[in-house]
Structures are given as C-alpha cells and as structure tokens.
Amino acid sequence: MKPSDELLSIEKVTIHYETEDGIVHALNEISLTMKKGETLGLVGETGAGKTTLAKGILRLIPSPPGVIKQGRILFEGTDLLSLNENQMRAIRGNSISMIFQDPMTSLNPVMPVGDQIMEVVEAHTKNASKEEMYQQACDMLEMVGIPADRSHEYPHQFSGGMKQRVIIAIALACNPTLLIADEPTTALDVTIQAQVLDMITALKSRLNTAMLLITHDLGVVAQNCDRVAIMYAGQVIELGTLQDIFKRPQHPYTKGLLGSIPSLTKNVRRLSPIKGLMPDPTDLPPGCAFAPRCQYASDVCTRGVPAIYTLSDTHQVRCVLAEQEVNHE
C-alpha cells in the first residue's frame, strides 16, 4: 500500500475502562489501516471492542472510566489523539462522521429533521447563509430519497428506515472522507436493511467516502465490503480481502464464525457454533485470548500473544497455526 493512499492508520491503540471492579481491557494494541474510498468491515462478537474502536477514532470515549493508554490514530497524517477538543470538534461531522446503531434514539426528538441537517452544515461551513444551508439540507434529504417538503417534520413522524436515512443524510452532509457506520442496520428489519445498505454504498461511491462498517452480520460484510477485519477481545485477529476471509480463513475463530452461518446450498443438519464465551475483558487469559475456546490450542498459545503472520499482500492473521502455513510457502 502506498502511504499516499492511506487515510486512517491506527497504531497499537490500547483503551482501558478503569472501573471499580477492575480494568476492562477493551482494546489491546490494536492496529489497522484504511485506504481512501475503501469499505472495511469490522466484525466481531458483542464486547469485542468494535464500538470502542469507533468511538476511540472520534475521541468520544466517555472519560472516566475510559482511558486511551497508548497508540496513535493517524488520520490524513495528523494524530487525532494529540488534538485538543476544539480541533477535534472541527473534524467530527466534517471529515469523519458516524452513523449510530439505533435510528430511533439518534435524532433530537424536539427538532425538525431539516434543522438537524442544517446544524451540521452550520457547524462546519463558515459564512453560509440561512437559505444556502436550508437548500443544502433539502438536497441531502432528496439524495437519501426523502421529499424535501418533509424537512420541517419531527423525527417521530418518520419510520425507522426513514430516520436512519435522515441520519445518513446528516452524516454525509459535509462530504466526509471517512464514514464510521456502527451497526447501521441492526435495528431495522431485513428489507429496510438492504435498502439502507444499498443507499449507503451508492452514496459512498458517489462521494468517494471511505467507510468503516461495524457489524456482526457476515452477510452484510460479504455484500458491502472490500476488506474485512475480524476482532476478538480487543484485537484484530484476522485481516484480509473478502476472498481471503470467506474462502481461505486461517484463524480458528474466523473458521468458527463462518461455520456458524446456515448454508443455503449444503445439506447441514446442525450448525457448528464456537463453544464457550468471550473471555472476561477484566481478566484476559495470558497469550492468545481465543486459546481457551480453541480446539487447536496447544502450550504455545498460552505462552505469549501470538505474532501477526502475513500470508499474502492482503491477508494477515494473528495465530501460531499460521506459522506453518507461512513456512510451507
């Protein structure tokens, strides 16, 4: 990857939540890069640290208890963690924006939707007149397929899918270079899901926005993403293109994830779920965090955190089993 293509580079970021019951290791030296215009799927179980990562990029981790222990988040060359609150506010909603999980609660219930779109524009565009801003808000609404004359209506007058589209309009109002979508379709039903995702993808390619798509739905990933990162206990354990992850999964956890999806083509009696639960993030096992649930685990796994093995230009995995794989080649 040429450095000029690099949009976002997360380097060894560690985020802890320091609670009375102990330190929650939400992110452990996580590293990840994103190119301009690409869609990266971030997949993992509940509690794997997906949302913490998304909020960490925007520096929205509630503090206390959240503490960013170490690492750098380079966005277009600047380290987001070194910026002050004012500089950070200029970036939020402008070059990086976020779509939240639940459209029902993400809009201000006492403000018409048009005004809410205008707000983002107002906060980030200097010297724009009221008419221009209103025009832009109407354009954004039309772009997401909502008639502009509904701009004076309140969020409760819209359906869930429409609310999510309003949120997308707000997120895209300032032409961000990075869009973080935190499970944008989880709260919607399947037909609306498809509609919303199609729209995000279409708008994204029109505006050339990169997208970090957080989800636990592998189907959504397969349809929308260029690359996939699988997260487990605050670390990326496998990273690769769609082909790499779906056709040649290396990490036992990835294999387990894929094994727990019902297949339409094969005749399978029972699904093979991964046994056990995510480890308690206040008390992570030594070495590989997945080892206690892994059927291939050996002594090596508990001795130290496995290194990252690069299988190809695009495919990386954090598992000792991959060592043999690399050596074979």
Partner 1 sequence: MKLPVVKKQRTLATETWRRFKKNKLALTGMIVLSSLVLIALSTIVIDLATDNAVYNNYVIKQNLRMRLQGPSKDHIFGLDEFGRDIFMRMIWAVRYSLFMGTIAIALSTIAGGLLGAIAGYYGKVTDNAIMRFMDVLLAIPSMLLATAIVAALGTSLTNVLIAIAISYVPTFARTVRASVLTIKDQEFIEAARAMGASDSRIIFKYILPNSMAPLIVQATLGVAGAILSIAGLSFLGLGIQPPTPEWGSMLSSARAYIREGWHITVIPGLGIMITILALNVMGDGLRDALDPRLKN
Residues that bind partner 1 (CB under 8 A): 58, 60, 89-94, 97-98, 100-102, 105-111, 119-120, 123-124, 149, 152, 154, 156-157, 167, 170-171
Q: Shortest Cβ distance from residue 182 to partner 1 (Å)?
A: 10
Q: Measured from the CB of residue 122, what is the shortest distance to partner 1 in angstroms?
A: 9
For residue 20, the minimal CB distance to partner 1 (Å) is 17
Q: How far is the CB of 195 from partner 1 (least distance, A)?
A: 21
**Hey, what are 173's tokens?**
């109002």
Residue number with CB closer to partner 1 (63 or 310):
63
Q: Whose Cβ is closer to partner 1: residue 75's or residue 253's?
A: 75
Compute the least distance from the CB of residue 155 to partner 1, in Å.
Answer: 9
CB of 135 to partner 1, least distance (A): 15
Residue with Cβ nearer partner 1 (72 or 89): 89
Going by C-alpha positions, the residue among 65, 71, 62 that lies closest to residue 11 is 71
| Of residues 173 and 284, the one with the C-beta less far from partner 1 | 173
| Residue 35 or 150 having the CB closest to partner 1 | 150
Write down the least CB distance from residue 281 to partner 1, Å: 21
3-class secondary structure for the chain?
CCHHHEEEEEEEEEEEEEECCEEEEEEEEEEEEEECCCEEEEECCCCCCHHHHHHHHCCCCCCCCEEEEEEEEEECCEEHHHCCHHHHHHHECCCEEEECCCCCCCCCCCCCHHHHHHHHHHHHCCCCCHHHHHHHHHHHHHHCCCCHHHCCCCHHHCCHHHHHHHHHHHHHCCCCCEEEEECCCCCCCHHHHHHHHHHHHHHHHHHCCEEEEEECCHHHHHHHCCEEEEEECCEEEEEEEHHHHHHCCCCHHHHHHHHCCCCCCCCCCCCCCCCCCCCCCCCCCCCCCCHHHCCCCCHHHHHCCCCCEECCCCCEECCCHHHHHHHHC
Residue type for position 209: T
Would you say 6 or 119 has its CB closer to partner 1?
119
Which C-beta is closer to partner 1: that of 170 or that of 188? Answer: 170
Which of residues 87 and 312 has its CB atom nearest to partner 1 in the complex? Answer: 87
Q: How far is the CB of 111 from partner 1 (least distance, A)?
A: 7
Residues 6+ apart with CB under 8 A from 311: 240, 244, 250, 317, 322, 325, 326
